[in-house]
Amino acid sequence: MTRYPSRQDFIIGEKASLSRQISEDDILRMAAITGDFNPVHLDEEYAAMTRFKGRIAHGVFSSGLISAVLGMHLPGPGAVYLKQSLQFLYPVRPGDELTAEVEVTAWRAEKRIITLRTRSLNQHGTDIADGEAVLLVS
């Protein structure tokens, strides 16, 4: 059995991030996994006629990358979501590089509950999504 170290304390303002380029294959796999075959994600001709003027990636890429930061880096392995709010601000396009960033805003050591600001940005520094997560830390 693999052991993951458990942190005992967190500092307000502490941050972690993770980046990933969203590929064509990622979008096709996300559609297959979720069943979301919305043509705005998959059909360039259709998407060109929308307000986005081209294809956009599934919004869940932003939330998924945030989840990866939370689960693997801060607070890290063993942490479990209690709540996540997320506002989508700007579309993600195929080929964009997303960076998910989390920042500790509150730490209740006695209950082992951490609150973090969550956001994702594209390669131009444009905010894609912004929100807050509350997790139980093991």
Residue whose pair of structure tokens reads 């997790």 in the numeric block: 135
- The 10s digit of each residue's pLDDT in 99-119 is 999 999 999 999 999 999 999
Written as six digits, the tokens of 3 are: 């052991």
| R_g over Cα of the chain | 17
The class of domain 15-21+58-136 in CATH terms is alpha beta
What gap in Å lies between CA 7 and CA 1, rounded to an integer?
19
137 or 3: whose pLDDT is higher? 137
Burial-class residue 103 by CB neighbours within 10 Å (0-12, 13-18, 19+). Answer: middle
Task: Calculate the average pLDDT of the chain.
Answer: 94
Q: Is 54 left (phi over 0), alpha (psi -120 to 50) or beta?
A: left
Domain boundaries, the chain: 15-21+58-136
- The 10s digit of each residue's pLDDT in 34-88 is 999 999 999 999 999 999 999 999 999 999 999 999 999 999 999 999 999 999 9
